[in-house]
Homo-oligomer: A and B are copies of this chain.
């Protein structure tokens, strides 16, 4: 039996989002939980950090109790300042980011603020986990929170599951009834992508503005990949890293002769 873990929880939907509240409640059943999350919704911020401006932060209360620190910044900012400043005396065992309202699979991973918070945790040397629910519809996070906490507890306690230093796991939970979930799959990032377009509109003064729209082009067709696994009602767990070297291309081009 391992000790009670210290977990820092963050997200990108903001500290008032139902996804973080449900998750914190469930994690508290087996862990010491600390919250440091963006003040406001921060979706699709990618791995932004704030360097040109200072950060502000506030104590955030919920039902009269201190819930955590709300940071006027990005998810990566919140994790950095939570670990290095607000809770600097705590030795964190895990960083958990989520639960995000919307899937973070395939190409979406690189735009994801939720994954970014977990990436920042891994950069800080703490095993980190991002959790997302695959729907944008208004849903109850009670069941997904219980499932996420169960998986995180299992990962923490199971002696056969080793998590170390740079571990970064991206969990996606399909948004279906609990009894429809088929199980857990360890997956790879899919290569499905968005086919984007811009919609042109006019503001009340007649000036144009542009909205990004798009539809996902599905390129993956095996549950070996995250996006397919969740579409077939599996919980997907993908190990990620932040070394972006394309090793295949490196071997291909390393003997290029470029004279100046």
- Chain A residues near B (Cβ < 8 Å): 41, 43-52, 54-57, 76-77, 80-81, 84-85, 107, 109-111, 116, 119, 123, 147, 150-151, 154-155, 160-162, 167-168, 181, 183-184, 186, 188-189, 191, 193, 196-198, 200-201, 207, 209-212, 235, 237-247, 249-250, 252-260
Contacts and interface: CB of A to CB of B under 8 A. Distances in A.
A186 B54 contact: no
Contact of A246 (B111, B168, B252): B168
A54 B201 contact: yes
Contacts of A245: 188-189, 238-241
A107 B41 CA distance: 25
Contacts of A235: 260
B45 A209 contact: no
Chain B CB count within 10 A is highest, among A167, A201, A244, for A244
A150 B260 contact: yes
User: How many copies of this chain?
Assistant: 2
Given A119-B110, A197-B84, A256-B161, A41 B47 contact: no
Given A186-B254, A242-B244, 15 more contacts: A41-B52, A44-B50, A46-B46, A46-B48, A46-B116, A54-B201, A81-B198, A84-B196, A161-B256, A183-B260, A186-B253, A237-B253, A239-B246, A241-B249, A244-B244
Contacts of A52: 41, 43-44
Nearest to A146: B260
A260 B47 contact: no
Contacts of A80: 196, 198, 212
Nearest to A200: B85
Nearest to A72: B209
7 contacts: A46-B47, A55-B210, A55-B211, A80-B212, A85-B210, A154-B258, A237-B258
Nearest to A115: B244
B246 A244 contact: no
Contact of A167 (B47, B210, B211, B249): B249
A234 B111 CA distance: 31
A201 B161 CA distance: 43
Given A110-B242, A239-B246, A51 B55 contact: no
B209 A111 contact: no
A46 B43 contact: no
Given A150-B260, A239-B246, A250-B186, A48 B44 contact: yes
Contacts of A188: 243, 245, 247, 250
